[in-house]
């Protein structure tokens, strides 16, 4: 039986995202990289081409409007995690944000509460919590 893959929108095409996270996506058979987004067009184009995304965007709202996504990965400056995290949750998407999830404890709690209120999960990429090796 073939199971549909979860369509992921990846926001942020910066250095950590591109060197450590995008290259791992193809190792997860349950997801596909539907779209990427970055304010910098050349980075969005580059990551779509390099990592096999079907489409690229420079505006998150446009990506959310046009794509039928199942989830979002958000990697960039911490203030972006909280702001765009809420936007994606409001669009009905579960989110994975890089650490830190916000610039203050108050905002981090706010983001977690936003996910809870939406009935969606939000995860923060704490590398060592999810590592398969025992560091």
Ligand X SMILES: NC(=O)c1ccc[n+]([C@@H]2O[C@H](COP(=O)([O-])OP(=O)(O)OC[C@H]3O[C@@H](n4cnc5c(N)ncnc54)[C@H](O)[C@@H]3O)[C@@H](O)[C@H]2O)c1
- β strands within 1-135, DSSP E: 6-11, 31-37, 55-57, 71-74, 95-98, 122-125
Q: 12 vs 122, which CB is nearer to ligand X?
A: 12
Please count the other Cβ atoms lying within 10 Å of the Cβ belonging to residue 84.
21
- β strands within 17-119, DSSP E: 31-37, 55-57, 71-74, 95-98
Could you tell me if 52 and 26 are in contact, meaning their C-beta atoms sit under 8 angstroms apart? yes
Size of the site for ligand X (CB under 6 A): 23
Could you tell me if 64 and 7 are in contact, meaning their C-beta atoms sit under 8 angstroms apart? no
Q: 5 vs 14, which CB is nearer to ligand X?
A: 14
Binding-site member from 8, 17, 89, 91 for ligand X (CB under 6 A): 17
Query: Going residue by residue from 65 to 84, which x/- string records binding to ligand X, judged by CB under 6 A?
Result: ----------xxxx-x---x
The three-state secondary structure class of 101 is: coil
- Among positions 21-50, residues that touch ligand X (CB under 6 A) are 37-40, 43
The answer to the question of residue 107 lying near ligand X (CB under 6 A) is: no
The answer to the question of residue 112 lying near ligand X (CB under 6 A) is: no
The answer to the question of residue 60 lying near ligand X (CB under 6 A) is: yes
Distance of closest approach, residue 124 Cβ to ligand X, in angstroms: 9
Q: 4 vs 129, which CB is nearer to ligand X?
A: 129
């Amino acid at each position: 039986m073939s199971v549909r893959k979860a369509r992921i929108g990846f926001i942020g095409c910066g250095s950590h995202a591109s060197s450590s996270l995008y290259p791992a996506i193809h190792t997860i058979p349950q997801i596909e990289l539907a779209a990427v987004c970055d304010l910098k067009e050349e980075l969005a184009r580059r990551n779509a081409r390099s990592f096999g995304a079907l489409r690229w965007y420079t505006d998150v709202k446009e990506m959310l409007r046009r794509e039928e996504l199942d989830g979002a990965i958000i990697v960039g400056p911490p203030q972006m995690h909280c702001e765009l995290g809420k936007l994606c949750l409001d669009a009905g998407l579960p989110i994975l944000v890089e650490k830190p999830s916000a610039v203050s404890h108050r905002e981090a709690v706010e983001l977690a509460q936003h996910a809870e209120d939406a009935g969606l999960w939000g995860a923060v990429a704490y590398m060592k919590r999810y590592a398969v090796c025992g560091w």
